[in-house]
A and B are shown apart, each in its own frame.
Chain A
């Protein structure tokens, strides 16, 4: 099976080379048959990479520990679904998984555009194949998941094959349901950004720099963006549930690596609207998508090369130089390409006023990019400072928070303001009409909260903006519905449905914005977090906020692959009983690794988060860590709203679909006449 996997990878590698050559030569010499053959090669490498993935899955499912990768991420006792999820549980497997997703995307691009006659598609596929080739090279020649274990002899000679009785097992921290879905979703987002990048490059190469490429990738970008955002937030959820330090975001280099392309992609999503409507910012958009792609590759590199120290336990490996080389070459090529096409990228318009939709997009982009730069700076600063000054300086969470809290609030403000400003110039009257009430209501809420004893400048500003933005969104819906009800005599719910389905992108976008508001509401809760630690015997109590926790029982046991220590804590709030929480400490014997199982009581107002930190040295008392985290649930609720809004925005427009249908009919007609 391992040989089969290796062979599949080799064949995929060959087909990737062929597809790049066939597509580029075919485009250059205008030989359509060659272009077609290059596109079919995409299907071929898709099939072969899929074969490789399935052979690795087979090896994992059958616990074939002769394979080094299988032995390092799996063991006999693991449940079947974790055995399969181990596909992305380690370095080599997850790199193969990366490749698999990009070839799936490439195959879908070929399939969806099979009737489209534009040079953009083959050119984009050539760019995608290049990325595929790079990763296949790593899969096949550097980080092969199919390597067999061999044991070197002390006295030299050929190493002999070697099969350990059992594997190391998947890192217990990763044995969590969220961890099964987080990597695939994050990868779908991460890798998905390759598609818009490829089309942008294709537009530059073919000089078709109108809006065609932007229209082609609109959904792709949204899909990738949605997955990326969901993946990042799921990662936060996992950290919250599994790492046991009471938070969900630590500005860890690996977290930053996923956030950076999200920031540039979000800027891109917004600024393409300006290009579509006003033919401005063309260079800017190309630069943003190039930056996103490079950050995706850079993030993959950061996660796997051991350059920066991180909680993520990927081994340090030798793939660093390959990535640095690839990023340098591709980056240089992109810059050259953009410069050589500058004359095609001129703007047709210019900014008229600072109070306009255009300028709100401009500021949105500026701030997103600023945030991304700050995160990048903080992440790589240890490496930079060592290289330049010879002194390694790290910047911790205070740096990231200091800059990103005000940035986030400014973006939240723009979320409320931007969509309601008119293109070109907004009149004072329309400003008053759109913003007077939301601003006033926000102020009332902020004053009320202050009077109720809520302190903290940023927290109050954040809550003020949450109210403000929510109201601007509600007002937008309200006005739209009212107009329809008057014009078409529809009932409210009919009007709502039609309103959204006629403007999915706009109204879906508002839903996404509302999701962001909820997530910010959750973030704001951080300003009011409380924590305490205590050592308790059975019968003793701990308290935090208005909660009281009584330790009823401390017990231990064994279950499957681990032994555990746990405590039953009965919770009361202001004397009212609320049930029992059982935080647990597990100890996985295969990997000699303890893990924390948090026990949580989550409400819309606050999370009571309990951790079993261990026993005291005399083994008499349990050390219990308590956290009271207000509003956290809104982060997860906001995530769901965000995903829902993205889906609405992606759904095909009925109008657009009918145009597409007619276009297809015409094309078919054209082809049949050609044959005659």
Chain B
């Protein structure tokens, strides 16, 4: 196009380049691999240097306090994983026995998962409750 648009185009290129740069840098900083517990054990040595996210159901009665953090077990497809939570924030209110939890952190050589952040969602108990009622009838 004309020369006077040159600067505008140049400006656009700069802005887009900056966006891409920040995007890529942020991506490297923030990415975490979402793995199932099964995949986690299959990963072998490659599992230890990555930021990971695992999900599962909190095993009934497995939550116990350890120092300032806590440990609990996650269950997914009959596989269990011991999680040690070391984050600074209190765990969310929805985190309790039977809840679905997502843990961000790293896999340790001893086979436990060190979580720095936990998200939790209430298990949808609704169907389960009426389901049992139905079975009794």
Contact = CB atoms under 8 A, between A and B. Distances in A.
Interface string A290-313: 000000000000000000010101
Nearest to B131: A152
Given A244-B93, A313-B122, 13 more contacts: A152-B134, A154-B134, A171-B122, A244-B92, A309-B102, A353-B7, A363-B15, A370-B16, A397-B30, A398-B26, A399-B30, A406-B22, A592-B96
B19 A398 contact: no
Interface residues of B, number: 47
Given A153-B134, A366-B15, A402 B93 contact: no
A395 B31 contact: yes
A151 B134 CA distance: 6
Contacts of A533: 68, 88, 90
Given A151-B137, A245-B92, A309-B102, A398 B29 contact: yes
A403 interface: yes
Contact of B90 (A244, A315, A377): A244
B8 A393 contact: no
A594 interface: yes
Contact of A613 (B5, B11, B53, B90): B90
A403 B26 CA distance: 7
B41 interface: no
Contact of A596 (B68, B90, B130, B137): B90
A401 B119 contact: no
Contacts, number: 146
B119 A311 contact: yes
Interface string B27-65: 101111111000000000000000001010000000011
B75 interface: no
Contacts of A403: 19, 22-23, 26
Nearest to A370: B19
Interface residues of A, number: 66
Given A394-B31, A594-B96, A313 B26 contact: no
A11 interface: no
7 contacts: A245-B90, A309-B121, A311-B119, A366-B15, A398-B30, A407-B22, A595-B93
A524 B12 CA distance: 27
A652 interface: no
A395 B8 contact: no
A360 B84 CA distance: 50
Contacts of B7: 353-354
Nearest to B99: A593
B130 A151 contact: yes
Given A350-B5, A399-B30, A611-B90, A309 B23 contact: no
Interface in B119-134: 119, 121-122, 124-126, 130, 133-134
B53 A399 contact: no
A424 to B, nearest CB: 11
B77 interface: no
